[in-house]
Structure 1
């Protein structure tokens, strides 16, 4: 018997409750052109309601800070205000219900968020849209407004310079089911010649207790700095192998609120 209806129903069901959660996970990037190369690292991500950020004991607060300046144009008083302003700029009514944000937190004052996701729910609890906020290693950021189908899949034209080895062309195919007990995300970059890069995030949900955070912080110290360093080191290896660098657009560092 087919399981497609069950998968579709699962993709449309947001995780219950508003308690923050942690996802120990493995992030994998597989480049397929001009040769196959894989970058894989382990880290952990937070799932939080930006209206109700986690309240940690004072000694642990340096391990998790959620700062509005790290998201959207960085000028709003709260992350939720930045999200609502982005939605309004795109003709989307402000998220009337809960928002679930999957992200990295600042750790000892540093953060690098290649991808932050916001699942926006209506007042009835039904999924309305997803916002995918992308940051590059040059200090720029860009957000995409998405309306996934029942399987959690959405498409968007690429509009932002990310990897120095890819121009701004092609489009993304994203599979973004709301996180539940398992985290299972896929982002694929399709260029005119075919698929070029696939990124996956696989993890398992943990309650965001002080003990769980401390264990993960000890297992992955300076997690956001390590991720940034790994991406840069991977880029250096590709460059030394002769992969040509694509010129950066003049506005590659400008925070963007356009799709």
Structure 2
């Protein structure tokens, strides 16, 4: 089974548990686009590598040089022993550019087998310093990923100055025709510290839906960046420990 492309509204949740609890939920929207339908995706308001109010640019993802994504993704799968999956059934979920601007804290590449079962997810993470890193999430034995599964990955990349680069993440995913959700829980040596989740309600990638979302959140990129800095300021004012930014890891992708 293949998941159709879509453009939908989402709820993004963050909940920090220590030293003082801090939680918030905010709206956003995402595009969910199958790689095999990129050339056919688009309308007067949305396009791939086109001048549109909502746009997805190849240089914003993957190798970041405007080259095709498939060879880049296939190379990653090959290096981690998952090359047999191929890239024929891959769905990218990400923020589109809005009037030319975008900041994607995390984008997800959902890799499914020929039977439509989720087998791997590449989480493409960006921080506000311009660094990026990929986490390849899959079971060690390659079995399909179920909605209740929690898959662990060691944290190696600096995202927030209020979390150290140690500990691990627990990833959970659910990919259905109408809803896509991703949860990432961060654990340090003391246990769970930060719980995050994004839940996308997928709607058709058509002109009417693009117009509705654009009208409801015309400055979404600014809102995403502003919320990140506002929450950081709140944590700083509360005296949360500040961690300096370390050098990014040498490896572009870890598992």
TM-score normalised according to structure 2 size: 0.86
1:82 maps to which residue? 72
Which one of 232, 243, 258 corresponds to residue 254 of structure 2? 258
CA shift, 1:65, in A, is: 2.0
Separation in 1, partners of 2:185, 2:247: 25
Q: Write out aligned runs for 1:44-55 (5 A).
A: 44-53=29-38, 55=41
Q: Name the CA shift for 1:96/1:28 in 2 (closer, same or farther; >3 Å).
A: closer
Give per-residue Cα distances to partners, 1:176-228, cap 9 Å, x unaligned: 12143223332110111010000122332211111101101110112123112
Q: Which runs of no fewer than 5 residues in structure 1 stay unpaired?
A: 1-15
CA shift, 1:59, in A, is: 4.8
Give per-residue Cα distances to partners, 1:127-170, cap 9 Å, x unaligned: 33111111111111111111154334321111111111111111
Which one of 239, 243, 246 corresponds to residue 246 of structure 1? 243
Give per-residue Cα distances to partners, 1:11-48, cap 9 Å, x unaligned: xxxxx445321221110100011110013210111111
Is contact 1:67–1:79 with CA below 8 Å preserved after alignment? Answer: no
2:187 maps to which residue? 190
CA shift, 1:63, in A, is: 2.9
Separation in 2, partners of 1:182, 1:28: 16
1:137 maps to which residue? 128
Q: Name the CA shift for 1:162/1:59 in 2 (closer, same or farther; >3 Å).
A: closer
Is contact 1:157–1:169 with CA below 8 Å preserved after alignment? Answer: yes
Which one of 228, 232, 236 corresponds to residue 225 of structure 2? 228
CA shift, 1:124, in A, is: 4.2
Separation in 2, partners of 1:206, 1:59: 15
2:211 maps to which residue? 214
RMSD: 2.2
Q: Name the CA shift for 1:257/1:75 in 2 (closer, same or farther; >3 Å).
A: farther
1:27 maps to which residue? 12
1:41 maps to which residue? 26
SS in 2 for 1:207: coil
Is contact 2:7–2:31 with CA below 8 Å preserved after alignment? Answer: yes
Q: Name the CA shift for 1:115/1:30 in 2 (closer, same or farther; >3 Å).
A: same
Moved more, 91-100 or 162-171: 91-100
Separation in 1, partners of 2:63, 2:46: 28
Higher strand share: 2
2:163 maps to which residue? 166
Is contact 1:107–1:223 with CA below 8 Å preserved after alignment? Answer: yes
Separation in 1, partners of 2:179, 2:163: 31
